[in-house]
Structure 1
Amino acid sequence: MSQKLTEFVLRPGQGKIGRPVRVRANYFEVTELPVDNIIHYDVTITPDVPPALNRKIFEKFEEDNFIVGLGGCRTVYDGRKNIFAPRILPFGETATFDVTLPNDDEITGITRNVRSFKIKIKKAGEIVMTELHNFLRANGPMTSGVLTAIMAIDVLIRHLPSMQYVTVGRSFFTSNGSMALFGGAEVWQGYYQSARPTPGKMMINIDLSATAFYEGGPLIQMVIKLLGKRNHDDLRRGLNEKECIKIEKAIKNLKIRVIHRGVQNTRRRFKIAKLTSTPANMTKFETEHGPMDVASYFQRTYNSPLQFPKLPCVAVKRDVYLPIEVCEVIEGQRHIRKLNEKQTADMIKFTCQAPTLRANKIKQGVEILNYRENKYLAPFFLKISNEMANIPARILPAPTIQYHRTSREQKCVPRDGVWNLRDKKLATCATLGAWSLVAFGAEREFPIQSIQAFIRELVISCQEVGLHIPNRSPPIMHANPQGDVDSVLKQAWLRAGNAVQAQPQLIVCILPTTGESLYAEIKRVCDTEIGVASQCVQLRHMMQAKKQYCVNLCLKMNVKLGGMNCYLAQDTVPFVSERPTIIMGADVTHSSPGDASRPSIASLCATMDAKISRYAASIRVQTGRSDIIADLANMVKELLRNFYQACGRKPERILFYRDGVSEGQFTHVLENEIKAVRAACRSLDASYRPTITFVVVQKRHHTRFFPVDRNSSDRTGNCLPGTVIEQTIIHPFEFDFYLQSHAGLQGASRPTHYHVLHDENRFKPDDLQILTYHLCYVYARCTRAVSLVPPVLYSHLLCRRARYHARLDSWTEGSSTEANGVPSSFGNVKPDLAKVMYFM
Structure 2
Amino acid sequence: MYSKHQKNSNHQSTGSRNGPSQSPFKKQPRNRNGEPVKLVTNLREIIFKEGFKIFKYNVIVTYITMKDGGKTETFVEVSKSARKDSQLEQDKIRSFKVVKEAFNLISQLREDRRPRFYDCQGCLYTFAMFLKPSYSITLKDGISTIPTFVRASCQITRSRESFEITVEDIKNTVSKYPGNENKSLLYALKTIIEGMMNPDTAFLAPDGMLHLINGKTVGMGSMEFEEGILRSSAGIKTEVKTLESAGIPKVFVSHDLRNDLFHPEKAPLFEVLASFVGFRNDLEATSTLAKKISNAVSGLDFTLNYGDYPDLQEDEVIFKIDSFSKSANEVTRTFANKEMSWREYIKAKEGIELKYPDLMTVRAKRQDGAVFYFPVELVSLYPAQKMTPERMINGEQHDVDLYYGGKPYITKRYTDDMVKAMFLESAAPGISFGKQLELRGIVLKKPKIVFRNGSAQTFLQPVSLKRWTVVFGRKEEVEDLVEMLLEQWSQHGMEVAYPNVDWMGQDNNLEVVFQKAQKREKQLLLFVTNSRHALQKDIEWMEHKYRMPTLSIDLKVARKMVEDKVVKLDLADQVNKKTQGINYAIYSDVFRNGNDLVISISFSEQSAKYANYPLAVGFAANTSNHALVFTSEFLYSNSDNVDSGAVITEIFQKCLTATQKNRGVLPKRLIVYLDEVPEEEFWRIDHHYEPSCSEACSQMGAEYSPQTTMIVATQKHNERFYKVDDKGLIWNPEPGTIIDHTAVSPVFNEFYHIGPSMSCKSTVKPAKYTVVYASDPVDMEHLEQLTNDLCYWNQLKSELINVPAPLDMAQKEASKGKQFLIDNGGPIYMEDGEVDLTETNAKYGYGSENRK
Please give the range of the TM-score, normalised by the shorter of the 2 chains.
Answer: 0.7 to 0.9
Residue 204 of structure 1, CA deviation = 0.5
Are the aligned partners of 2:224 and 2:230 in contact in 1 as well (CA < 8 Å)? yes
Q: Of 521, 524, 528, which residue of structure 1 is paired with 2:541? A: 521
Residue 684 of structure 1 aligns to a residue whose secondary structure is: coil
Quote the Cα distance in structure 2 between the aligned partners of 1:612 and 1:605: 13
Quote the Cα distance in structure 2 between the aligned partners of 1:291 and 1:644: 73
Give CA-to-partner distance per residue, 1:690-733, whole Å, 9 cap, x none: 1111111111112111221279999xx42210111122221123
Residue 146 of structure 1 aligns to a residue whose secondary structure is: coil
Partner of 2:462: 429
Residue 359 of structure 1, CA deviation = 0.8
2:82 is equivalent to residue 62 of structure 1: no
TM-score, normalising length: structure 2: 0.78
Amino acid aligned to 2:752: Y
User: Which stretch shifts more, 795-804 or 693-702?
Assistant: 795-804
Residue 537 of structure 1 aligns to a residue whose secondary structure is: strand
Residue 634 of structure 1, CA deviation = 3.4
| Aligned positions of 1:351-750 closer than 5 A | 351-374=404-427, 377-378=428-429, 381-385=430-434, 387-404=435-452, 406-407=453-454, 409=455, 421=456, 424-439=457-472, 441-442=473-474, 444=475, 446-447=476-477, 450=478, 453-469=480-496, 471-472=497-498, 474-480=499-505, 482=507, 485-495=510-520, 497=521, 504-513=522-531, 514-527=534-547, 532-545=548-561, 546-569=564-587, 572-573=588-589, 575-577=590-592, 580-608=595-623, 612-624=627-639, 627-628=642-643, 629-709=645-725, 717-745=731-759, 747-750=762-765
Quote the Cα distance in structure 2 between the aligned partners of 1:365 and 1:126: 33
Are the aligned partners of 1:467 and 1:554 in contact in 2 as well (CA < 8 Å)? no
Q: Of 122, 125, 128, which residue of structure 2 is paired with 1:81? A: 122
Residues 655 and 328 of structure 1: is their aligned pair in 2 closer, same or farther, counting only changes over 3 Å? closer
**Consecutive unaligned residues in structure 2, runs of 5 or more:** 1-11, 64-77, 79-89, 216-221, 331-341, 367-373
Amino acid aligned to 1:353: G
Residue 192 of structure 1, CA deviation = 0.8
Quote the Cα distance in structure 2 between the aligned partners of 1:270 and 1:245: 27
Partner of 1:149: 185
Residue 206 of structure 1, CA deviation = 0.5
Residues 816 and 482 of structure 1: is their aligned pair in 2 closer, same or farther, counting only changes over 3 Å? farther
Residue 25 of structure 1 aligns to a residue whose secondary structure is: strand
Are the aligned partners of 1:24 and 1:707 in contact in 2 as well (CA < 8 Å)? yes
Partner of 1:415: none
Residue 657 of structure 1 aligns to a residue whose secondary structure is: strand
Are the aligned partners of 2:22 and 2:775 in contact in 1 as well (CA < 8 Å)? no
TM-score, normalising length: structure 1: 0.79
Amino acid aligned to 2:58: D
Quote the Cα distance in structure 2 between the aligned partners of 1:192 and 1:464: 50
2:223 is equivalent to residue 179 of structure 1: yes
Are the aligned partners of 2:302 and 2:318 in contact in 1 as well (CA < 8 Å)? yes
Are the aligned partners of 2:757 and 2:763 in contact in 1 as well (CA < 8 Å)? no
Are the aligned partners of 1:284 and 1:292 in contact in 2 as well (CA < 8 Å)? no
2:56 is equivalent to residue 40 of structure 1: yes
Are the aligned partners of 1:256 and 1:269 in contact in 2 as well (CA < 8 Å)? no
Residues 186 and 453 of structure 1: is their aligned pair in 2 closer, same or farther, counting only changes over 3 Å? same
- Aligned residues between the structures: 759
Are the aligned partners of 1:587 and 1:604 in contact in 2 as well (CA < 8 Å)? yes
Partner of 1:189: 234
Residue 236 of structure 2 aligns to a residue whose secondary structure is: strand
Partner of 2:75: none
Residues 634 and 744 of structure 1: is their aligned pair in 2 closer, same or farther, counting only changes over 3 Å? same
Q: Of 105, 127, 138, which residue of structure 2 is paired with 1:98? A: 138
Partner of 2:851: 834
Quote the Cα distance in structure 1 between the aligned partners of 2:742 and 2:189: 19
Quote the Cα distance in structure 2 between the aligned partners of 1:334 and 1:602: 26
Are the aligned partners of 1:162 and 1:172 in contact in 2 as well (CA < 8 Å)? no
Residues 585 and 8 of structure 1: is their aligned pair in 2 closer, same or farther, counting only changes over 3 Å? same
Quote the Cα distance in structure 1 between the aligned partners of 2:172 and 2:161: 21
Identity among equivalent pairs (%): 14
Give CA-to-partner distance per residue, 1:577-619, whole Å, 9 cap, x none: 3672222211121442231353212232212479643013353
Residue 367 of structure 1, CA deviation = 0.7
Amino acid aligned to 1:192: K
Are the aligned partners of 1:606 and 1:615 in contact in 2 as well (CA < 8 Å)? yes
Residue 822 of structure 1, CA deviation = 4.4
Quote the Cα distance in structure 2 between the aligned partners of 1:485 and 1:636: 35
Quote the Cα distance in structure 1 between the aligned partners of 2:175 and 2:311: 58
Quote the Cα distance in structure 1 between the aligned partners of 2:714 and 2:380: 42
Residues 17 and 152 of structure 1: is their aligned pair in 2 closer, same or farther, counting only changes over 3 Å? same
Are the aligned partners of 1:604 and 1:795 in contact in 2 as well (CA < 8 Å)? yes
Residue 366 of structure 1, CA deviation = 1.8
Quote the Cα distance in structure 2 between the aligned partners of 1:633 and 1:742: 34
Are the aligned partners of 1:429 and 1:565 in contact in 2 as well (CA < 8 Å)? yes
Give CA-to-partner distance per residue, 1:482-514, whole Å, 9 cap, x none: 56644431212334x5xxxxxx32222334434
Are the aligned partners of 1:137 and 1:732 in contact in 2 as well (CA < 8 Å)? no
Give CA-to-partner distance per residue, 1:336-388, whole Å, 9 cap, x none: 682221544443344433322211121122212434211xx22xx32223x32
Amino acid aligned to 1:175: I
Residues 534 and 59 of structure 1: is their aligned pair in 2 closer, same or farther, counting only changes over 3 Å? same
2:844 is equivalent to residue 817 of structure 1: no
Give CA-to-partner distance per residue, 1:117-144, whole Å, 9 cap, x none: 3212234422454676465499976775
2:153 is equivalent to residue 118 of structure 1: yes
Are the aligned partners of 2:753 and 2:768 in contact in 1 as well (CA < 8 Å)? yes
Are the aligned partners of 2:463 and 2:576 in contact in 1 as well (CA < 8 Å)? yes
| Aligned positions of 1:16-415 closer than 5 A | 16-32=32-48, 38-47=54-63, 48=78, 49-65=90-106, 67-68=108-109, 71-92=112-133, 94-99=134-139, 111=146, 117-129=152-164, 133=168, 135-136=170-171, 146-161=182-197, 165-177=203-215, 178-182=222-226, 183-199=228-244, 200-216=249-265, 219=268, 222-223=271-272, 226-228=275-277, 254=302, 277=328, 294=352, 332=384, 334-335=386-387, 338-374=391-427, 377-378=428-429, 381-385=430-434, 387-404=435-452, 406-407=453-454, 409=455
Are the aligned partners of 2:233 and 2:260 in contact in 1 as well (CA < 8 Å)? yes
Are the aligned partners of 1:15 and 1:766 in contact in 2 as well (CA < 8 Å)? yes
Partner of 2:218: none
Residues 34 and 464 of structure 1: is their aligned pair in 2 closer, same or farther, counting only changes over 3 Å? farther
Residues 608 and 343 of structure 1: is their aligned pair in 2 closer, same or farther, counting only changes over 3 Å? closer
Amino acid aligned to 1:361: Y
Residues 17 and 371 of structure 1: is their aligned pair in 2 closer, same or farther, counting only changes over 3 Å? farther
Quote the Cα distance in structure 1 between the aligned partners of 2:744 and 2:51: 22
Are the aligned partners of 2:827 and 2:835 in contact in 1 as well (CA < 8 Å)? no
2:810 is equivalent to residue 766 of structure 1: no
Give CA-to-partner distance per residue, 1:95-121, whole Å, 9 cap, x none: 322356769xxx8xx638969632122
Residues 694 and 219 of structure 1: is their aligned pair in 2 closer, same or farther, counting only changes over 3 Å? closer
Are the aligned partners of 1:457 and 1:547 in contact in 2 as well (CA < 8 Å)? no
Are the aligned partners of 1:619 and 1:635 in contact in 2 as well (CA < 8 Å)? no
Residue 207 of structure 1, CA deviation = 0.8
Quote the Cα distance in structure 1 between the aligned partners of 2:600 and 2:467: 32
Amino acid aligned to 1:758: Y
Q: Which has the higher Rg, Structure 1 or Structure 2?
A: 1
Residue 796 of structure 2 aligns to a residue whose secondary structure is: coil
Residue 774 of structure 1, CA deviation = 1.6
Residues 66 and 84 of structure 1: is their aligned pair in 2 closer, same or farther, counting only changes over 3 Å? farther
Quote the Cα distance in structure 2 between the aligned partners of 1:739 and 1:40: 38
Give CA-to-partner distance per residue, 1:271-319, whole Å, 9 cap, x none: 797999379xx967899xx999547xxxxxxxxxx9x8999999999xx
Residue 776 of structure 1, CA deviation = 0.9
